[in-house]
């Protein structure tokens, strides 16, 4: 089994357990009481017009790297990202493989004003309602983890919940299988979720193939301003960055570097 296969198998068990504790009817009720969404895709688009749009990720670890940040304080990290100039935040909520918690999403929403992406492996419509109830403004749909019909159905249901969708692809086949899904953003993951090998050339190859009406987002393997500039030239308009920020003592300082700013002032 690949790492992705193992994650999906565990996610099925996790969703079944969550349904047993709080069924879909209860999640729907919580969605009705949820705060208005903050407009994730709109915030990225606006920032991309005037500067560099970065989705900064709150991420303790990963299957390939293990624990990335020992002194992990999700609220302090989120505040640092907001201070450092992030356009939006991505919050890892997968527990078993990425050391995340769904509760982080709710806690961070109370702490910062930025739009939030729930970063997880969505394999069941239940998770869409769960995400909206927990305070997400957007969700990730991973083409490698879903069938074409699921991608279309989940994208449509997310839109009904006013959740923006970041649809993630890694190659031409995944881009083709997701063609029927109506989404505002397409992310190109430079990391292969089956091998966890990372290569920025993946974005350079796929960016010209994306639909013109979707905001193109480059994900993974972004470590310095030169990497950002390289993919800006290739056509990326927003960037999802996690590991390189999480390894810094002060993530805000690293964020200034990636944005091409010095304490908020463009250089």
Query: Domains of the chain, with CATH numbers?
Result: 3-266 (3.20.20.70)
The residue from 59, 152, 174, 204 that is catalytic is: 59
CA distances from 105 to 147, 231, 255 (A): 27, 29, 21
> Can you tell me the distance from the alpha carbon of 7 to that of 65, in angstroms, rounded to the nearest whole number?
15
Total H helices, total E strands in the chain: 12, 12
The DSSP secondary-structure symbol of 191 reads B
Instruction: For residue 35, give the DSSP letter.
Output: P
Which of 14, 82, 152, 168 is flagged as catalytic?
Answer: 168
| Catalytic site includes residue 59 | yes
22-43 pLDDT, tens per residue? 999 999 999 999 999 999 999 9
Residue 172: burial class (beta carbons within 10 Å; 0-12, 13-18, 19+): exposed
- % of the chain beyond a pLDDT of 90: 91
Task: Name the burial class of residue 154, with classes exposed (0-12), middle (13-18) and buried (19+) by CB atoms within 10 angstroms of its CB.
Answer: buried
Closest CA to 56 of 90, 100, 14, 11: 90
Query: Among 11, 60, 119, 254, which one carries the catalytic annotation?
Result: 119
pTM over 0.75: yes
Instruction: Render pLDDT for 78-89 as a digit per residue (tens, 0 to 9).
Output: 999 999 999 999
- pLDDT one-digit tens code per residue, 44-74: 999 999 999 999 999 999 888 889 998 999 9
Residues in CB range of 57: below 8 A, 6 or more apart = 89, 90, 91, 92, 119, 240, 241, 242, 245, 246
Q: Residue 264 pLDDT more than 80? A: no
Catalytic residue among 204, 219, 243, 257: 219
pLDDT number for residue 153: 98
Catalytic residue among 220, 244, 254, 257: 220
Task: Report the Cα 3 to chain-centroid distance in Å.
Answer: 19
Distance CA(164)–CA(40), nearest Å, equals 6
Exactly one of 11, 14, 57, 131 is catalytic; name it: 57
Distance (Å, whole) CA 1 – CA 231: 32
Query: Annotated catalytic, 189?
Result: yes
Residue 254 in 3-state DSSP?
A: helix
Residue range 198-215: mean pLDDT, rounded:
96
| pLDDT tens, residue by residue, 97-114 | 999 999 999 999 999 999
Give the integer Cα–Cα distance in Å for 166 and 29. 25
What is the rounded distance in angstroms from the CA atom of residue 260 to the CA atom of residue 226? 10
Question: What H or E segment, with its residue span, contains residue 24?
Answer: helix 24-33
> Does residue 220 have an active-site annotation?
yes
Per-residue pLDDT reduced to its tens digit, 157-196 = 999 999 999 999 999 999 999 999 999 999 999 998 888 8
Per-residue pLDDT band at 267 (split at 50, 70, 90): very low
Marked catalytic residue, from 62, 90, 178, 189: 189
Q: What is the pLDDT of residue 265?
A: 41
Can you give the pLDDT at residue 262?
61
Average pLDDT (127-153) is 97
């Amino acid at each position: 089994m690949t790492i992705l296969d193992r994650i999906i198998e565990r996610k099925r068990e996790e969703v079944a357990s969550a349904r047993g504790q709080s069924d879909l009817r209860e999640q729907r009720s919580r969605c009705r009481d949820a705060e208005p969404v903050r407009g994730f895709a709109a915030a990225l688009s606006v920032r991309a017009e005037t500067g560099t749009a970065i989705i900064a990720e709150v991420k303790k670890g990963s299957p390939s790297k293990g624990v990335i940040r020992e002194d992990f304080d999700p609220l302090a990290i989120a505040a640092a990202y907001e201070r450092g100039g992030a356009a939006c935040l991505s919050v890892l909520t997968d527990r078993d493989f990425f050391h995340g918690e769904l509760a982080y999403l709710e806690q961070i929403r109370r702490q910062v004003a930025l739009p939030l992406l729930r970063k997880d492996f969505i394999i069941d419509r239940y998770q869409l309602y769960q995400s909206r109830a927990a305070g997400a403004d957007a969700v990730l749909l991973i083409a490698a983890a879903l069938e074409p019909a699921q991608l279309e159905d989940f994208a449509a249901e997310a839109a009904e919940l006013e959740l923006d969708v970041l649809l993630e692809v890694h190659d031409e086949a995944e881009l083709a299988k997701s063609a029927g899904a109506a989404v505002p953003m397409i992310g190109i993951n430079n990391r292969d979720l089956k091998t966890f090998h990372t290569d920025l050339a993946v974005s350079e190859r796929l960016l010209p193939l994306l639909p013109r009406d979707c905001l193109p987002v480059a994900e993974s393997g972004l470590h310095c301003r030169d990497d950002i500039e390289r993919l800006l030239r290739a056509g990326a308009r927003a960037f999802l960055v996690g590991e390189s920020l999480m390894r810094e003592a002060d993530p805000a300082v690293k964020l200034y570097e990636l944005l091409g700013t010095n304490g908020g002032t463009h250089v």
